[in-house]
Structure 1
């Protein structure tokens, strides 16, 4: 063990987190892979074991695990402000880009060229959702003869959401309860290990935070520290909400967004695709902030920008603020930008609190089946939930008016599915190709 360990300055870490915010494409697996390559293999800021320990904790939480992992490592290295900067910069570039792209979409989305591009993008979204079903399902369900309970949870969740219109929170709660009970009577149904664990790192110079590095003082549990984090989090949630209520009342769109996206943040077990049905139910069907077609366009924009996919909430907020004219008819863009910021703030605030409050308790939960089995049950339910979302999108794309079949859209969707599932092409090239195909089809039809 080295007596004089290297240290990383806050400024050096700041530069890295800013860079990461602009290159964090590829969903959670890709984002975690980038962090592992840079932080463990190349820069050697944190050891493999400490990295995976943090990752396992983040995967037990609701919310985007890659953003939470960045927050955790930033906090471990540079205290609270290190976590705030790491997690914030993971999101901020995506927010700025999505606000700009949403403004273009809201103002010129009906222009033939833009409409043609999105005509091709919507079928690509169907294929992307199907890929998510396959990716999560193959990791969780495995052989139905070995884990029939998990298959039953997935199928039941699909039927409950797609045909019985059961609310998403009820599905998640039932799956967690089944996982908790199942672990006691049928523990073999809940195999350990999940997620995006990278390959082992080769030996090299000592890590800044190594396996034997003592836990920093600020990362040790204390009741006083927990109370301070909880009180600060409560204030950071309640004060902005009170301001929004003062501006537009409890029934105003901005206050409703604050409450709704807080609930969404607490239900995002299993990644962004798991919470999309809940966001869809609320934003499209309950509050009418945007249409189903616009929701699909927003998902496509979220796939093509850096940051967590759950950043689609910024698009939802922007279109809702624009549509509801929350700042009046003469300030539509700024209304959208404000609503996008509100959606982002209340979606990600719980993620920071989970890390800052729960980080010191990580050791108490690591590898404990009592904690992992309910999550496994939820993940199985997520497969069915995402499948129901894929079915809805497929019907919406293939039969847009409810009667006539849109053959061209179905062909584009099938091609995108083959490209993603069979040839393992990246999401961005597939979206780009489908957009061009849709534009060519629309222009030819003109």
Structure 2
């Protein structure tokens, strides 16, 4: 066991900046891998945080909408150097991947029609089906601990897949169900029961609750969030693509409990069917690109915003795309800083609210159903060339053209699934091999 003492004083701002830059550049593999990387560097190697404090911060971030790994980085930086530390840590976690996904979006827009590139993207999209299935299995094992949670997951799947109910409504109903189950004794928070014993810390002044600081911080970050939104409404009008993106992704920032996979099906349906920002199979393309870049998986939204801006603004395609990507990035991640800087000083109070933890457990169970819908939605649009819909009472059911079934896509998806789920192969390697298989098919 490592007996090296934890540092009594925080690292210098420069040292912290260099460390969070390293984390941002190495943060591949989704939230589980990103959180493990931060634990290794901040707890095991640098020893800037001890285990209880790290888990304490993680528990809080899990209660929030948005990417928990990015928020954990922001929280850790805030703990060491206040708001400037949190800003640097959060931005360094997001910006490398954001720049890469914007560049990849531009390449896709420019040469996506090239045969070789089409083959690469074909293989990538098929493999992403296996990635989503693997995520579904992992989340299911963690979330579905009893019959009530299974029922919630099934209900959420039916609600979003066949009743087409709004994602925020499903999340709200699940949260209320979990809170009610707790109040009536049907559910208890295992996390709270197994919480680490309290440890006394000599914490810096900015980490202590202050009513004045609370309202000041809230006002500043609400202004950073909503003043640009109001400006877009006034200058461009509600019908402009940039205004629509800013409004839509602001809503997503407030309801993205459960991580990126939980919200992607809803985003894809809205972006394709309501706004016309991209084609059905292009969401899979963006997800595949996001899987291969550092940073939170929710950066796939930058791809969505880029294509929307490129196609529907009055600007040149690349200029409009970059502007759309910037709008999406701003309104997706500014709220994350608000949640941390406003709420972190009250983390102890939030941690000890048992009904809130129960509500979160119910939301996580509902997320399983929503991810299952994502897997089904993606599978239908990758494996079948033609997918229609038919209304049957209150239900909307898919209609498949079995003659349009794509055996090659199914073969790549099955092979990728076996590699990931059965043999636990490296995800980036699986995506790369699948992309090469698609290119080989195009060249044959």
Q: Same fold (TM over 0.5)?
A: yes
The structural deviation recorded for 1:187 is 3.6
Contact 2:71 2:90 in 1 (8 A): yes
Over 3 Å counting, the alpha-carbon distance change for 1:2 and 1:384 in structure 2 is: closer
Listed as ranges, the matches of 1:47-86 within 5 Å are 47-86=50-89
Q: Using the alignment, how far apart are the partners of 2:6 and 2:325 within structure 1?
A: 48
Does 2:416 match 1:416? yes
Query: Partner residue of 1:207?
Result: none
- Would the aligned equivalents of 1:321 and 1:332 in 2 still touch at CA under 8 Å? yes
Taking a change above 3 Å as real, the CA distance of residues 2 and 212 of structure 1, as seen in their structure-2 partners, is farther
- d(CA) in 1 for partners of 2:260 and 2:46? 29
Q: Secondary structure at the match of 2:41?
A: helix
Give the counterpart of 1:233 among 217, 221, 234.
Answer: 221
- Aligned equivalent of 1:306: 294
**Alignment correspondent of 2:113:** 110
Q: Give the CA deviation at 1:2.
A: 8.3
The CA deviation string for residues 321-371 of structure 1, in whole angstroms up to 9 with x for no partner, is: 0011x242xx22121111111101101111101100000100112143211
Matches for 1:136-155 after TM superposition, within 5 Å: 136-142=139-145, 147-155=146-154
Report the counterpart of residue 259 of structure 2 in structure 1. 271
**Residue 41 of structure 1: aligned partner:** 44
Residue-pair matches, total: 424
Check 1:190–1:76 CA distance in 2 against 1; reply closer, same or farther (3 A cut): closer
Q: Give the match for residue 17 of structure 1.
A: 20
- 1:391 aligned partner: 376
**Per-residue CA distance 1:394-418 (angstroms, 9 max, x = gap):** 1111112242211111111111111
1:206 aligned partner = none
Q: Please name the residue that 1:160 is paired with.
A: 159
Deviation of 1:138 after TM superposition, in Å, equals 0.6
Mean CA deviation greater in 128-137 or 280-289: 280-289
Residue 251 of structure 1: how far off its partner (Å): 1.5
Trace 1:294-333 onto structure 2 (pairs within 5 A): 294-324=282-312, 326-328=313-315, 331-333=316-318
1:8, distance to aligned residue in structure 2 (A): 0.8
The C-alpha deviation readout for 1:248-292, integer Å capped at 9, x for no partner, is 212211111111101101111111111112211221111111111
Name the CA distance, whole Å, in 2 between partners of 1:87 and 1:216: 20
- Unpaired stretches in structure 1, ≥5 consecutive residues: 201-209
Distance (whole Å) between structure 1 residues aligned to residue 6 and residue 147 of structure 2: 52
Q: Per-residue displacement from partner, 1:3-55 (whole Å, max 9, x unpaired)? A: 99344110111111112111100111100111100010001111111111001
2:197 is the counterpart of 1:218: no
- The CA distance in 2 between the partners of 1:256 and 1:193, in whole Å, is 40
Residues 380 and 3 of structure 1: CA distance in aligned 2, closer, same or farther (over 3 Å): closer
Partner of 1:431: 431
Offset at 1:211? 5.0
In structure 2, the residue matched to 1:204 is none
Paired with 2:192 and 2:8, the residues of 1 have a C-alpha distance of 32
Separation in structure 1 between the aligned mates of residue 352 and residue 222 of structure 2, nearest angstrom: 30
**2:13, 2:78 → 1: CA distance?**
11
Q: CA deviation at 1:243?
A: 3.2
Distance 2:374 2:238 in 1: 30
Alignment correspondent of 1:203: none
Shift of residue 294, structure 1, vs aligned partner:
1.0
CA distance in 1, matches of 2:314, 2:260: 29
How many Å apart are 1:440 and its aligned residue? 1.1
- Shift, 1:193, TM fit: 6.9
1:327–1:334 Cα contact (<8 Å) kept: no
CA distance, structure 1, for counterparts of residue 120 and residue 89 of structure 2:
34
RMSD of aligned alpha carbons:
2.0
Moved more, 4-13 or 376-385: 4-13
Match of 1:192 in 2: 191
State whether residues 94 and 306 of structure 1, in contact with CA within 8 Å, keep that contact through their aligned partners in structure 2. yes
Contact 2:98–2:302 (Cα < 8 Å) also in 1: yes
5+ residue gaps in structure 2?
A: 388-400
